[in-house]
Amino acid sequence: MRWLQAAMPFVVVAAIWEVVAHSGAFPPRLFPPLEEVATTLVRLTAAGILPHHAAETLFRLGAGFAFAATAGIALGIAMGRSRRAEDFLMPLVSIGAPIPGLAYAPLFLLWFGLGNTGSIVLVAFVAAFPIILNSWTGVKAVKEIWLRAAQTMGADGRRLFRHVILPGALPYILTGLRLGLAQAWRILVAVEMLAAVDWGLGWLIFGAREFLNTDAMLAGIAVIGAIGLGLEKVVFQRLENYTVVRWGMMAA
């Protein structure tokens, strides 16, 4: 019953879409009925074209995000721990963060070339900002009393970091990673349209425009939405459940 209730809005919207598509008010090439989109989705998946596009996109996302996570967490923690690092990096980060990442895209494509390098560097650059800022906040938010308690109990610098600061900052770091991944995903889809890569979901929908393949575009958008939802719900909620929620630092 609850399941049915959740499905209802989608059924209504799909029905409206079908009526409009079949009414002939718009050319079917531009406004295809949903069964055609579904057929295209199945056909492209079976032919291995859609999985290939998705795999390339996920590779770029993974590579860019891995750089961003490594550099972002390292810089954020350094800024949280050392005044000098904070004084030096904070102004640069606060200038760089609010500029829309896509505005850099043509510059990065010019500097690093079209294709994989340019888009991965841009994704890494854009995703790094929320990760830096949240890791920094997280380290700052570790309770002073935890640090002193651990020091009194004789924890040296390394153990203090590994057993107090890192777990203490983790809820923030995870939030930063989540925001970073979401930004990376948004930027990547757009960059693939600009960078003229051979494969990639962004390129799939942008390239389909040339041939008026609206059905392929909508199929691509559906896959993009599904991957976005999957990254958010499956990857990060599980990660949170295993760490900060289990330690009782955050409500599930």
34 near another protein, rule: CB under 8 A: no
**Amino acid of residue 122:** L
Only segment of 37-45, 57-65, 82-90, 168-176 that touches another protein (CB under 8 A): 82-90
| 9 touching another protein, by CB under 8 A | yes
Candidates 84, 121, 122, 118; CA nearest to 102 is: 122
Q: Which span sits near another protein by CB under 8 A: 137-145, 163-171, 212-220, 240-248?
A: 212-220
Which segment (16-24, 37-45, 48-56, 93-101) binds another protein by CB under 8 A? 93-101
Q: Rounded to whole angstroms, how far apart are CA atoms 160 and 148? A: 10
Counted residue by residue, the chain has a size of: 252
Calpha distance 235→83 (Å, rounded): 34
Which helix (H) or strand (E) element contains residue 43? helix 34-46
Single-letter code of the amino acid located at 242? Y
The residue behind tokens 């691509």 is 220
Site for another protein in 123-182 (CB under 8 A): none
Q: What is the C-alpha separation between 78 and 72, in angstroms, rounded?
A: 10
Q: How far apart are CA 225 and CA 215, in angstroms?
A: 15
Judged by CB under 8 A, the chain residues 181 through 210 that form the site for another protein are 185-186, 189-190, 193-194, 202, 205-206, 208-209
Binding residues for another protein, how many (CB under 8 A)? 51
- Closer to another protein by Cβ: residue 147 or 221: 221
Residue 251 near another protein by CB under 8 A: no
Q: How far apart are CA 11 and CA 64, in angstroms?
A: 37
Q: How far is the CB of 170 from another protein (least distance, A)?
A: 21
The 3-state DSSP class for residue 137 equals helix
Minimum CB separation of residue 125 from another protein in Å reads: 13
* Residue ranges binding another protein (CB under 8 A): 5-6, 8-10, 12-13, 30-31, 87-92, 95, 98-107, 109-111, 185-186, 189-190, 193-194, 202, 205-206, 208-209, 212, 214, 217-218, 220-221, 224-225, 228-229, 232
